[in-house]
Structure 1
Amino acid sequence: MFIGFGTLANVVTVVLGSSLGLWIGGRLPERTQRTVVDALGLITLLLGALSAADVRSPALRDAVGSTAPVLIVLGALLIGGVLGSLLDLEERLDAFGHWVRRRVVGRGATPGGDPDGRPSAANRFVNGFVSASLLFCVGPLTVLGTLTEGLGRGPEQLLVKSVLDGFSAIAFAAALGLGVLASAGMILVVEGLITLVGWTIGGALPEAHLMALSAVGGLILVGLSLRILNARKVPVVNLLPALVIAPALVALVDLLR
């Protein structure tokens, strides 16, 4: 299989799953749709917790010491969150979602009664696009799977992720609409870029750095799950720079030891 096959498989499964979800979405009562979204929120919480547990990775502890991993994750989230908020990534992605909606479904949405004055259809599209993009693009399988494929070690991890994302897309699209289908484009861009990075850097990134990145990504997924469950609107997009900060902090601490 060629490098990039796993990414293409992921895009195809999300497109197929979203299309099926859109077809059955109107046939489900609202309470059923809400239950499906709540179930996905709980699953996202579980996946985030499992990924965050990588903070206890032996490789990470050997590289930075037994007490530093939690501090590294904390520092990455704080620094990344500050950078993300200064760059206003949350609002930028929201605006990008509205731009994608206009390109995909046009400007003819029926105005609703949202407090911010935006059409309710637009808000639903953006909610689906942002939530699905974050769910499908943030997490250990996204990073580790694409890097592994980029390193020439096969697409197996991404193929597993493709199956999971396909089933998730069915439920998400049924509840959140066309924005979930549009997130397939974000998958292509994000996973394609990370695959390219993996192909470029070869085996230069140590396991400890990947574990720190995975732990931070897990906590971001926990924040996303709180949004899905309507518990708290955590600005998870503003936290995304932490995915870059975490490996950098591991390298710094390892250098200073």
Structure 2
Amino acid sequence: MPLLPLWLIYPATLSLWDKTSGTWINLITVLLGSLLGLLLQDALPRRMQRIITQGLGLLTTFLGVTMAESLLKVPAAHIDGIILGLIAIVVGGVLGEWWQIETHLRTLGNWLQHRVKGGGNFTEGFVAASLLFCVGPMTILGSLNNGLAGNNTVLSIKSAMDGFAAIALSSSYGIGVAFSSAIVLLYQGGLSLAAGFFAQSLPDPATAPPILLTSGVGGLMIIGLGLNLLEVAQLSIASFLPALIFAPLLYALLQQFT
């Protein structure tokens, strides 16, 4: 089965498992990675846990940069893709702060921490892992491919990457990373199930300008997450989440007036 099949011949007979198999694989790898990381947490000294997190931070920052380059590929009339990305990230960030998304996500993490009696870094691990596992082009393209054609290849690759990342994060932050699997299930699984709605509007998601713009904005968020992991800064990454929705809406609005 090709990686990006013809979207217009969407098979209507796909079962629920066919549409969401990649998400369940991802869920398992995150949980297994978190379990292994927790085992290593007791075996590794603090300085080694820190260097593992720094390594993940460097790779996360690099991944964010490669994703952000998608902004250079957005054809949008007389407005450069970088400018569109700037508008999306700023407006999305303002909306996120207004809606206090970061605060609500941390409140959820603190509630889970209290329920399971997790360690002091529970919330930080839950928030960082949820953002890392759910923001990115592989999540979007993989979920669309899985939901439309039953092909879980992209999500399977993402699952392996997330599993290794879960080892690094949980060895430093603890069990909160494992609970991010619930966010993966809801967000990624929901996107796979909703993929049918995009079948006609996105004939080729790999080159569709709204997807490129969304991936670029997501890349900026991933760079910020990498900086947080490296302890270079403490950015409110969750506050920028509305930008992922606002970005394609901004592009569609611009197309109506050009």
Deviation at 1:102, TM superposition (A): 2.4
How big is each residue's C-alpha offset from its partner over 1:68-91, in whole Å with a ceiling of 9 and x where there is no partner?
211110110111011000001111
Q: Name the stretch that deviates more: 225-234 or 6-15.
A: 225-234
How big is each residue's C-alpha offset from its partner over 1:177-223, in whole Å with a ceiling of 9 and x where there is no partner?
10111111111111011112213332313611100000000000011
The 5 Å alignment of 1:1-257 reads: 2-57=18-73, 60-61=74-75, 64-65=76-77, 67-103=79-115, 105-106=116-117, 121-122=119-120, 124-152=121-149, 154-205=151-202, 207-257=208-258
Q: Which sections of structure 1, spanning at least 5 residues, go unmatched? A: 110-120
Q: Distance in 2 between matches of 1:96 and 1:73?
A: 29
Q: Distance in 1 between matches of 2:78 and 2:40?
A: 50
Structure 1 length as normaliser, TM-score? Answer: 0.89
CA contact (8 A) 2:18 2:150 kept: no
Count of residues in Structure 1 that have an aligned counterpart in Structure 2: 238
Equivalent residue letter for 1:155:
N
Structure 2 length as normaliser, TM-score? Answer: 0.88
Equivalent residue letter for 1:152:
A
How big is each residue's C-alpha offset from its partner over 1:158-178, in whole Å with a ceiling of 9 and x where there is no partner?
000001111111111111110
How big is each residue's C-alpha offset from its partner over 1:137-158, in whole Å with a ceiling of 9 and x where there is no partner?
1111111111221222511110
In the TM superposition, structure 1's runs of 4+ consecutive aligned residues that sit over 6 Å from their partners are none
Q: Distance in 2 between matches of 1:74 and 1:202?
A: 28
Q: Sequence identity of aligned pairs in percent?
A: 38
Q: Distance in 1 between matches of 2:228 and 2:110?
A: 19
CA contact (8 A) 2:19 2:193 kept: no
Q: Distance in 1 between matches of 2:192 and 2:45?
A: 40
Q: Distance in 2 between matches of 1:175 and 1:85?
A: 28
Q: Distance in 2 between matches of 1:151 and 1:72?
A: 28
Deviation at 1:231, TM superposition (A): 1.0
Q: Distance in 1 between matches of 2:125 and 2:100?
A: 20
